[in-house]
Every structure is written in structure tokens, then in C-alpha cells.
Amino acid sequence: MVGIRAFLTRKILNWLMQPLPHYEYRLRNNPQRLREHLQQGDVLLVDGNHRVSQIIKYLTQSSWSHSTLYIGDELWQRGGALAEQARHDFGEAGARQLLIEALPHGVVVSPVDKYLDCNLRIARPHRLSAAHRKQILDEAIASLGLAYDLRNVLDLTRYLIPVAIVPDRMRRTALHFGSSKATEVICSSLLGRLFQRVRFPILPTVEELDEPAAPGRPARLGFLQHIFGHESHDAYTGLFHMRHPRLLTPRDFDLSPYFEIIKFNAIAKGDFDYQRIRWADPRQSTPADQPEEPSP
């Protein structure tokens, strides 16, 4: 039975990892700007170009199918067998700009250039301390070689049916199954585990607490507070609850109010001027650029 399951899993993986016949590459990435703006501890979100990417984007209702952690030249600086292997696999330049990611064959390092032909976004943990960044990098590197949660792959295949047939409730939970083993991860659960160790919030749930009124201010009536909400200028109001790493998806890093979004291709450098754009004459646009006329 185990052999049959492993055989089916491999077959499904091979099918899921096939590239999409049509991929919408929205904006050509600037490799130099990507390398300039990435910092250690950044999360690089990827709009993948494989079949599994399309499934994940549908299930999460998001543009992002994969999340990776940028470690830069950390392996290079530490030296040893892992650094030598990275230099052998990716060359000296590639080994100085690495990502750690969970893939179907396990947790591995990859060069940043691997995803240059995909739509990308940098999500940066706001004001992450140097000590916590080092801890995240240490634990990320220690995670190399962990197995991918293949049971999650089998769970995904149950949802390869038309969109209209999948209830919202099932779609939301489709990515939250999988193995319960600590040594098996998927991309977002790996990153969620790393940030959770240093108590950095991604997309926590917040429990409202009944707090005393500030000095000199009358306490609000309970029912009015319930109707009109809780006024607060404090970003730390309430009791924060960490979500289990297995409940995280790549889009949560994009939605998180605690991660800065770095638009490295155009505006991050600070010199973008929309008035310098040369626009095509609408009268000379190709048919593909024109909206379709409604049918009579």
C-alpha cells in the first residue's frame, strides 16, 4: 500500500510540476534592481508558472503561489560544505544571492535568478531586529534537507475540479491539510515557522480586550462600543494569537500589515517619474490592446 501511494504521489508531482502552456508575464523584471533591493530576511513572493501554481492561486484567491526566504550570501560567509556545494551548483555570483525554499524534493537553496521570468514581489518584515534576523537565517539554514509535505500534494489533487463545484469552505481548507510531522513542510509553513520562532506577526488574529478608559475620559457604554467599534491609536491593542504555520499561504505575506511591499522594478529606487513614459497612440494600438465591443 505504501508503495502504491508513493508511486501515485510521484506521478501526481510530475504532472503538477509541468509548466503552464500559457503564462502571463506582466512586467519584465530588472535583475540588477532585484539584487539591489533584496535584503536578508526578505520574503520573495512568486507567481509561479507550473500547474500546481495555478491550483494554489485559485485555492487562495491570490496572485502568489510560492514564497521563499532570501538569505543572500549567508552560506558563502559561513563557508563549509553547503557553501562549496552552492558555488559548484550556481557559480560564485549565484552562491552569493540565494533563496531558501520548500520544493517537492525538499527544502533547498536556489539562486535568485531562478525566478526572473516570473511575476515577483518583495515582502520585508518591518523593523525586524538584527538578532531575530540572524535567528531566522540560522533556523532556515538548519531546515535544509527537510522533506516536503507530500500528503499535501495528494490533498491538492482532490480539488482539481471546476471552480463552480468547489464550495468556498472547502477551498479555504484545501491547503490546510497534509502531514503533521515537524520534519515535513510546504513553502509558506516553513516561513511561518521561522517568523513564529521570533514572535514576528504575519497575519495574526486579534482578540479585543475590555480595557479601562484612559484618565480623564469617560468609559463608553458596552453596547455603543459594540456598535461603533473600538477607538484606538495603538497598533498593539488587543491580545494577538499566532496562526498555525500550516494555515498560512503565500498571499498572507502580501496582505500582512507588518510586511513592507517593495516594488523593486520601478518605484523602490525613488526616481520614477510617470510623466517620462512614452504612451502608444491609441489609434495605432494592436487589436489585442483594444477592449472587445459588446455583442448587440
pLDDT tens track for 98-157? 999 998 778 999 999 999 999 999 999 999 999 999 999 999 999 999 887 666 555 555
CA 155 to chain centre: 20
Is residue 31 predicted with pLDDT exceeding 80?
yes
HSE value, Cβ hemisphere, 13 Å, CA-based, for 102: 27
Q: Which is nearest to 248 in space by CA: 197, 201, 184? A: 201
Q: What is the largest CA-CA distance in the chain?
A: 71
State yes or no: pLDDT of 10 exceeds 70. Answer: yes
What global pTM score does this model have? Answer: 0.78
Q: Which domains does the chain have, with CATH numbers?
A: 12-211+239-269 (3.90.1720.10)
The bridge status of strand 66-72 relative to strand 98-103 is: antiparallel
Across the range 173-184, mean pLDDT stands at 47
pLDDT score, position 146: 87
Amino acid at position 90, single letter = F
- In angstroms, the CA 54 to CA 141 distance is 28
Structure-model confidence comparison of residues 31 and 223, the more confident one:
31
CB atoms within 10 A of CB 219: 11
Q: How far is 50 from 46, CA to CA, in rounded Å?
A: 11
Classify residue 39 as left (phi > 0), alpha (psi -120 to 50) or beta: beta
Higher pLDDT, 156 or 39: 39
> For every residue of 54-78, which 3-state class applies, written as one string?
HHHHHHHCCCCCEEEEEEECHHHHH
At 189-236, the pLDDT tens digits run 899 999 999 999 999 988 887 655 455 555 444 544 544 455 555 677
- The x, y and z cell numbers of residue 183, run together, are 520534519
Q: Which of 25-29, 118-122, 178-182, 231-235 has the highest mean pLDDT?
A: 118-122
Cell for 97? 544571492
d(CA 101, CA 42): 12
Say what the pLDDT of residue 164 is.
Answer: 45
Contact 174, 161 (CB under 8 A): no
Crossing angle of helices 2-16 and 51-60, rounded to 10°: 90
The band of 53, judged by pLDDT with boundaries at 50, 70 and 90, is confident
